[in-house]
Structure 1
Amino acid sequence: MNKDVTLSVDGEPLAVTVWGSSVQDVLDANDIDLTDKDGVSPAAGDQVSDGDTITVRYARQLTVIADGDKQTYWTTATTLDDALAEIGLHDPDLRLSVDRSMPLGREGLTVTATSPKDVQITVDGQTISGRSAAATVADLLAEQGITVSADDRITPGADALVTAGLSVTVQRVETSEETVSERIDYQTVSTEDSNLAKGTTQEVTAGKEGEKSVVYKIVKVDGQEESRTVISESVVSEPVTREVKVGTKVTTSSGNTGAAAPAVSSGSTWDAIAQCESGGNWAINTGNGYYGGLQFSASTWAAYGGTAYAPTASQATREQQIAIAEKVQAAQGWGAWPACTAKLGLR
């Protein structure tokens, strides 16, 4: 006896008339071949009656890449949402690469799913904590409305995957140029001069610093200068070289007896007085009636025994002059050199 039944294949109903007695007979009559993954209700071996509805759902493959973990499932669901519920991925906060209501055809589907994770973002002097299902750091920043420039630094990188407990740092980078004026040091060139007493110098040309204009590239990270690199520089004025003559003439001339005098360490009080009196030139003889580093008059020099060393103080050594100066100081006090000893605070 023929029977009128409804055959529903993946939700599409079809009215058919069959002569067989089982569900399998109905499937065979309509050229429906099922695998063990497909679904049919009632079961293929069950009897069929007039007016029955036979439901067939073909299996389809669903590939889910969840937080980077790829899994493949077989399902008879005809929508993505139903399929996810069937395999236990029904969290409403789960972020999918396609819409949940998307039909699931027999050709199957691959979908990317990202679950919410605790994350932290440090940017612009503040730290933001929360949960996000963003797939990458770039997605996370966009989700939070954080814009970044090509120069800004993102740690980890923008393409890094978001993982549980991820901490993201955004550093603001500013690049600018600055032009500054800088000095150019002058050089000193010394030339020996046998006409000058040894240990004395004479400046021929005064040195003068030059000037240059320097353009720097300045990189600031979160407002703090990180680096300063020279881009270009140009000379505004050249430096002037200082030229100095250095005396090599030995002062132990025929006028010096060569008599020994006590040694005196450099930097003594007498050196300070000589610097004040004669610029530290122990052999000076300017023709003004005063001789040597401590500016002895010829009469004072002779009165205190200086001629035992040399006719005048300018012909005596530093040590010989100091030996006589100590005799003068013992007799007259520091007042023998009034201006300089006052200046030096010795009286």
Structure 2
Amino acid sequence: MKKFELAITKAWQNQSPYLQALAPLSAVYGAVSGARKSLYDKAFLKKYHAAVPVLVIGNITVGGSGKTPLIIALVKYLQAKNVRVGVISRGYGRVLAKGERSSTPKLVRTDSTPDDVGDEPCLIVQSTAVPMAVGADRGKAIELLLAQFSDTQLIISDDGLQHYALHRDAEWIVVDGVRGFGNGKLLPQGFLREPVSRLDGATVVYHDKRSERYDAKALRMQLDPAPLEPLFTSTNPAPKPPASVYALSGIGYPERFFDTLQTLGFGVIKKPFADHHKFEMDDITPLTQHPIITTSKDAVKLRTLASRAKSPIFENIWVLPVSATLSESVYGEMDKLLQRFGLS
């Protein structure tokens, strides 16, 4: 399954002509998802309404768009303004205990592991200490969060744009300006979850360093790398350009990570894995010739692996942190929401 995911991702990136064979499946996918959305919009299916405002931040494409760094930056901004914000997420990749269901909500704590709650929730909470709950049933996740943190004033839903069972008071869609929309086709012929027309009238945040592509009022973000950090405390010196390094990545769009390392001047030996890949020792033990550099999201899983498998190879793994730099228009849009919700 993981090999198929990597193969289809590569086909999307290269806009392979062979994807045309998947057009009938995309037509079925579009019809089913469109009908489902319509049933919720027309109130034939019931939506969950939270007791506090909910902002959904998601995308219409498969794979990384920069959504998680954006959420981390917004949570820090809200915390600085003394807004009591909470976050919910599906918790993709969590390992369910016996008898536990994916819909069963669970709180995320600073010592939670990716197996407990998923990798992205771990990263968000470790970066911000924000109250957070995960669960496939977003309504139940919100109820748990509000029961434990009754002073919560605003909830951000990490993804869930297509989870129409959740009423949202506002939604932001993140668009990767580099990848764009590929061939413009729906899954599986392309990597669109919904048609591009979904952006009409929506609040869109463009993730692209080439900010001149948009007007001054557009909502923009870019990811800026920080100095390398050891996965653990290491006596080894951090690798410096133009050293060759293994670029180890299990994120939705690994090419962005590879490009960043190349821009920094490293010789990059690409080691991509499927999004949310659960690393095992066999994935890293062959990587002995050069230092390993990975992403913050992958680091939370590698630290869990290292706690189980003591090996000197972890002394040679380095993390490239990134932070989202947001345009003033993004903060302005958030301030407008706070005023609308009576939180300013």
- Taking structure 1 as the reference length, the TM-score comes to 0.16
Larger RCO, structure (CA 8 Å, separation 6 or more): 2
Greater strand share, structure number:
1
